[in-house]
Amino acid sequence: MKIKPTNVLILDDDKLILRSLARSLSRVLKVDNIVTINDPTLVEQYLSNSDVMYDLFITDYQMPSMNGEQALKIVQLKSPTTIRVLMSGDIDSVRSDFNHVCANIFMPKPFSIEDINFLGYFYQKANCFDIAGDNAVQQGFVPYVPLPKISNDQTPVKESQYLNTTSELEAYLDVSKLDNADRRAILRTTTKMLNEQLEFIDKFIDTVGWVEINQAIKLFFCWGIKSFAFARHNNVDENECITIFCIIFSYWINKVIHLYLKVGFRQSFELSVLNRYASAWGVEQSFIQKRQKAIIEKPSSELALICKAVLENMNTDIESLVSDILNSEIADMQSLTKLLSTNNQMNSIKEGSV
């Protein structure tokens, strides 16, 4: 793996650890620019006086004069877009108090080559979007969110104890206006996507709760089916219809991460932040990019129009109208376009009258 260009600042009072970590980053991730310091009081000076923008900051937790938690807060303030990594010999204890530790990633000490590889993996995923301005600053304030383990194990995934895909979701397929071939295609796609997220469910279930996770799965599954059926009825290409379903259904990952952050930090985060973690958990970048583009820009395709209509209007006054159009046997793409246009005009009138 190779991550470039990357500037790394490492803080540890143990010089042997500094050399070992710098050597591992250089050898495994091919990082060229690595600065190491063993005095915590120098962190602010390096960030304030250097022309270098650091992409990664890695710090030990237990140090004299200043601990890792305090060092992370300095980096968060001085260089908010830097990804922050905390190392500790008792990582589980530190992680359990994540509300007060502004780290993006926790890494055990001593670290392994697998830990270094994961650091590179997360860095690549976290930087897959071109985010600038205020959004870039917001990115730096993302707190700890559980992340997947990297494994070379190719053993087939077993069905989760929390999911019974056929009994839980086939009921929704039975009432949808799809032929048997489409039902089988949706069920195969759904089962594959859920099986790829069993670790995600296990990591978030204690904080978010199975009821909330299951509701998110069912909610976006239903909207995905409606959108798929509407697209098929309007003669959209079959593969494009599957993509529409995947873009909308995969949004349940964003929803669960949103709930996790709200429980742990009592605040909401921008879509770009949720996308960052959805990508780290393996949601296809093409789905995220198309979804993001559909929400932000004026729809330029049938896929964008359907995704925008659904994702932008859930939990709004016109949610039921969007649902009615998707369920209608006579509504077409023009019906969606007209609804969105009318809604935009109404919103403009409301804003102008304030």
Question: What amino acid occupies position 287?
Answer: F
Residue with tokens 């929803």: 255
**Which residues are registered as beta bridge partners of 105?**
85
Q: Between the CA of residue 340 and those of 50, 321, 343, what are the distances in Å?
A: 49, 10, 5
Token pair belonging to 106: 């926790």
State the SS3 of 245-265.
HHHHHCHHHHHHHHHHHHHHH
| CA atoms of 314 and 191, how far apart (whole Å) | 24
Tell whether omega for the bond before 40 is within 30 degrees of 0, i.e. cis: no
Q: Domain locations in the chain?
A: 7-140, 165-353
For the chain, residues with pLDDT lower than 70 are: 1-5, 50, 92-100, 125-144, 149-168, 174-175, 264-267, 344-354
| CA atoms of 217 and 221, how far apart (whole Å) | 6
pTM check: above 0.85: no
| CA atoms of 339 and 325, how far apart (whole Å) | 9
Going by the DSSP 8-state scheme, the letter that residue 176 receives in this structure is S
pLDDT of 294 reads 87
- CATH architecture of the domain with residue range 7-140: 3-Layer(aba) Sandwich (3.40)
DSSP per position, 86-144:
EEETTHHHHHTTGGG---SEEEESS--HHHHHHHHHHHHHHTSS---THHHHHHHT---
pLDDT of 19 reads 93
DSSP per position, 260-322:
HHHHHHSS---HHHHHHHHHHTT--HHHHHHHHHHHHSPP-SHHHHHHHHHHTTTTSTTHHHH
Question: What amino acid occupies position 32?
Answer: D
Comparing CA positions, the residue from 136, 75, 140, 149 lying closest to residue 108 is 149
**Where is 198: in which H helix or E strand?**
helix 198-208
Q: Which residues contact 60 (CB under 8 A, 6 or more apart)?
A: 11, 12, 13, 14, 17, 68, 87, 88, 109
pLDDT of 99 reads 57
pLDDT of 114 reads 86
Report yes or no: 299 and 316 within 8 Å, Cβ to Cβ: no
